[in-house]
Each structure stands twice: as structure tokens, then as C-alpha cells.
């Protein structure tokens, strides 16, 4: 089986060379990826069904595909008890925290503007 995860060094959306930042943006831009990472932020290791429920009942096939891609990217691992962020996954979420803070203060112009 070939890997479907966007990884550095491989062609990805927006970059034929697979620049690492482009691979990361491609991965994070996939449906449900950020939600999965966000749900794993607490350190609790949910099993597949619990993670699916906490993600708003994403389909099992999409969740399985995203977990496989996140595993290939070394951001999520299956621990035997459930799914958890790897050290790299936790570090990524720490780097995304300022974006969460910024978004909380975001005041876009109204559409009526």
C-alpha cells in the first residue's frame, strides 16, 4: 500500500518539490485533520469510536484514513488503549496555540461593509 499522507520531499498540493511547510499545510488542510488533532490535545487516549463521536460523528472511513495519514506523518499514534498525539504532534499543537488566541480576537469586516 502506498502512502497517501502529504509528507516533506513528496509532491503535494501547491508544491512539486514537497517543501516541508507545503506538505504540512496540505496535511492540515485535509477535512477533519485539525479537529482530530484538537480532540487529542487533552492527553486522553480515546478509542476509535469515542474519537469519532468527539469529532461530530465523522464517517468511519474518513476517520480511519485521516488517522492513517497522521500516523504516517508521525503526529498521531495508536497506543493500544487508543489514539494519542506523538511528541511531534503535541509540539505542532503548541505552535498552533497562538493562532487559536489570534482567532479569538479576530474581528472580520461585516459582509454588509
Q: Where do the structural domains in the chain lie, given as residue ranges? A: 32-99
10-residue mean pLDDT profile of the chain (113 residues): values are: 81 89 95 96 94 94 98 97 97 94 92 57
- CA–CA separation, 17 and 39 (whole Å): 31
* Cα three-residue angle 3-8-11, rounded to 5 degrees: 70
- What is the distance between the alpha carbons of residues 12 and 6, in angstroms, rounded to a whole number? 6
pLDDT at 30: 96
Q: Does domain 32-99 have CATH number 3.40.50.1000?
A: no
pLDDT at residue 2 in the model: 58
The predicted pLDDT at position 111 comes to 60
Q: How far is CA 84 from CA 12, 71, 81, 109, in A?
A: 25, 10, 9, 38
The 3-state DSSP class for residue 15 equals: strand
Cell 497506543 sits on residue: 79
| pTM exceeds 0.75 for this model | yes
Amino acid at each position: 500500500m502506498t502512502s497517501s499522507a502529504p509528507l516533506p520531499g513528496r509532491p503535494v498540493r501547491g508544491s512539486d518539490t514537497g517543501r516541508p511547510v507545503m506538505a504540512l499545510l496540505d496535511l492540515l488542510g485535509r477535512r477533519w485533520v485539525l479537529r482530530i488533532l484538537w480532540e487529542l490535545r487533552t492527553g486522553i487516549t480515546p478509542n476509535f469510536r469515542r474519537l469519532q463521536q468527539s469529532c461530530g460523528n465523522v464517517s468511519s472511513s474518513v476517520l480511519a484514513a485521516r488517522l492513517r495519514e497522521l500516523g504516517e506523518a508521525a503526529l498521531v499514534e495508536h497506543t493500544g488503549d487508543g489514539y494519542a498525539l506523538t511528541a511531534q504532534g503535541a509540539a505542532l499543537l503548541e505552535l498552533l496555540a497562538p493562532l487559536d488566541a489570534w482567532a479569538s480576537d479576530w474581528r472580520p469586516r461585516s459582509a454588509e461593509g
